[in-house]
Amino acid sequence: MTEKPKTNTAQRIVLIRHGETEWSLSGRHTSVTDIPLTPKGEQQASGLQSFLQKWNFGLVLCSPRLRARRTCDLIGRGKMAIQTDDLAEWNYGQYEGLTTAEIRETVPGWTVFSQSCPSGESAADVASRVDRVISRVREFGGDTLLVSHGHCLRVLTARWLDMEPECARFFNLGTGTWSVLSYEHETSVLQVWNSPPSGN
């Protein structure tokens, strides 16, 4: 399980999944392919800006992918964001650009959480990356903003809750949404999940 070098129980971690892209809309697995936000995706990201203005983040970490960086810019935190490959989306390898239905034509019952991605990452691989993010966030100790991708943030949430990475399958996460991880006493908890800009 993730080591906890420090515990500031007042700390809150806001998660932002990037806005909609053409591939997220069509259900195509998108990792290394750098595609832009759709007009709706731009609106989703812009819609989060007023909500986030009330937060004083001492640390902002962002995936290096264009869709995440653009989202970070639109929410007004691009200038202070530190890009890290540890927040990049799950590497789908040979399944990049395919939908789950297309993958299941040759691998019946496939899910990213339970089976491998040829030439890509496993759930354990992604967990190793997000564990480093969690350690970094806890070491920092203050309110933190993470701008990333659906599967990556789902695994990060599972690890925050001391769950196995495969448990990320229980945390559905839409584009352009915000979530909050925090503590109840010394216990890591999920405070808010999958809230759209309209839920501010």
Options 20, 22, 42, 89, the catalytic residue: 89
42 catalytic? Reply is no
Whether the CA torsion 21, 23, 27, 29 is positive or negative: it is: negative
Cβ count near 135 (within 10 Å): 15
Cβ count near 198 (within 10 Å): 7
89 catalytic? Reply is yes
Instruction: Pick the closest to residue 30 from 38, 43, 39, 21 (CA basis).
Output: 21
171, 113 contact by CB (below 8 A): no
Angle formed at CA 31 by CA 109 and CA 41, multiple of 5 degrees:
105
144 has which bridge partners? Answer: 13, 59
Main-chain dihedrals φ then ψ at residue 11, nearest 5 degrees: -70, 140
Can you list the alpha helix ranges (DSSP code H) found in the chain? 22-26, 39-47, 49-52, 66-74, 100-103, 123-140, 150-160
What amino acid is encoded at 71 in this protein? Answer: T
Cite the active site residues.
18, 89
